[in-house]
């Protein structure tokens, strides 16, 4: 994975579940580096600082909406991992401009300050909901993805490079269906939107390792998509709350039966590798060999047509292995 020797790494949204896991991963290294946790939650920063007690980590309060504060925080930084986002779908639907300010304007701010401060590498976290979006959250993340890819056209080749990582549902993360099902089983009834619904799933550790591997590979302009298993949401309920009856409540506005990470339109610039795909617009293809095999035109990668599937036993074992309470 990425060598952080001598690096100064800024993680936006660094007190979130992904940011915290990424900091823990980086701190396992014996290399010499500095990590800046940039977020707007002072209580989480206080708790994280006390838990880590590591002089290699600095904490800066700030919001990605605030370009000037972000400019100050990123001076001397060599790598930015952009994980800050407004992620709750109902909240985004009810407060659309707030989601746009954080997810779109915030993304533009990260790109502009990275170029101004000559940050070498910037990688942004995306979501499967950004591909063929059906809700505002997905639409804002699609805009963010487009901004980061286009950021490579705004600066000289030898300066800042921008890439994106797009993946699915993180097991046990805040807002995940797993803690929701755990909560609902106590009342003896699990609400299910649709028994056909499928989702991509990966662990937090998998997400961190994939982002670090993508940082190592990135040349600029790629959207990295991991190959991860699918699993039916109703089967998640069977694993988490066995024997508890279900209530079919119907799909909520903006929700999809199946999630997409690569659309047929994306297939024109998508390359397959052993453990991931890369969507690389033609103008960012270089003479340097990237490897991979171009997918056939019309290819799509959805949680329904995915060749990789969890069995209930594998899903249960994954939860146990990753210490996710259920």
Catalytic residue numbers read: 129
d(CA 101, CA 35): 25
Give all strands (DSSP E) within 113-160, no chain letters: 121-125
Q: Give the Cα separation of 99 and 87 in Å (integer).
A: 8
* Spatial separation of the C-alpha atoms in residues 75 and 61, rounded to whole Å: 15
Q: Exposure pattern of 222-253 as b/e (b: 16+ CB <10 Å)?
A: bbbbbbbbbbbbbbbbbbbbeebeeeeeeeee
The pair of three-digit structure tokens given for residue 299, joined into one six-digit string: 């290819």
DSSP secondary structure string for all residues of 47-105 = HHHHHH--TTEEEEE--TT-HHHHHHHTTT-SEEEE------HHHHHHSHHHHHIIIII
Helix 42-52 vs helix 17-27: crossing angle, to nearest 10: 20
**DSSP H or E run through 277:** strand 276-279
CA distance 174 to 228: 20
Q: What phi and psi, each to the nearest 5 degrees, are found at residue 271?
A: -120, 140
171 φ/ψ angles, rounded to the nearest 5 degrees = -60, 125
| Cβ-based neighbours of 307, under 8 Å, separated by 6 or more | none
Phi-psi region at 228: left, alpha or beta (left = phi > 0; alpha = psi -120 to 50): beta
Torsion of CA 274, 11, 149, 277, to 10 degrees: 10
């Amino acid at each position: 994975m990425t060598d952080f020797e001598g690096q100064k790494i800024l993680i936006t949204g660094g007190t979130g579940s992904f940011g915290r896991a990424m900091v823990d991963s980086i701190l396992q290294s014996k290399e010499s580096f500095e990590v800046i946790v940039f977020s707007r939650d002072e209580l989480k920063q206080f708790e994280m600082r006390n838990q880590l007690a590591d002089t290699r980590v600095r904490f800066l309060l700030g919001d990605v909406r605030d370009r000037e504060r972000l400019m100050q925080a990123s001076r001397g930084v060599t790598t930015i991992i952009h994980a800050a986002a407004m992620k709750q779908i109902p909240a985004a639907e009810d407060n659309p401009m707030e989601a746009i300010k954080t997810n779109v304007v915030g993304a533009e701010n990260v790109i502009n300050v990275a170029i101004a401060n000559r940050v070498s590498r910037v990688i942004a976290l995306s979501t499967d909901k950004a591909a063929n979006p059906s809700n505002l959250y997905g639409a804002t993340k699609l805009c963010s993805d487009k901004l980061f890819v286009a950021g490579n056209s705004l600066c000289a080749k030898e300066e800042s490079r921008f890439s994106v990582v797009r993946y699915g549902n993180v097991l046990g993360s805040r807002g995940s269906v797993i803690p929701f099902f755990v909560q609902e089983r106590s009342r003896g009834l699990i609400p299910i939107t649709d028994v056909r619904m499928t989702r991509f799933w990966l662990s937090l550790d998998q997400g961190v390792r994939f982002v670090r591997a993508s940082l190592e590979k990135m040349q600029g302009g790629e959207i990295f998509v991991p190959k991860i298993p699918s699993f039916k949401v109703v089967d998640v309920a069977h694993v988490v709350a066995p024997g508890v009856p279900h209530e079919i409540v119907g799909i909520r506005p903006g929700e999809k039966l199946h999630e997409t990470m690569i659309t047929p339109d994306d297939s024109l610039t998508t390359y397959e590798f052993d453990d991931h795909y890369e969507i690389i617009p033609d103008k960012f293809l270089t003479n340097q060999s990237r490897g991979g095999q171009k997918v056939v035109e019309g290819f799509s990668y959805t949680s329904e047509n995915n060749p990789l599937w969890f069995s209930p036993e594998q899903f249960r074992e994954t939860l146990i292995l990753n210490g996710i309470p259920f």
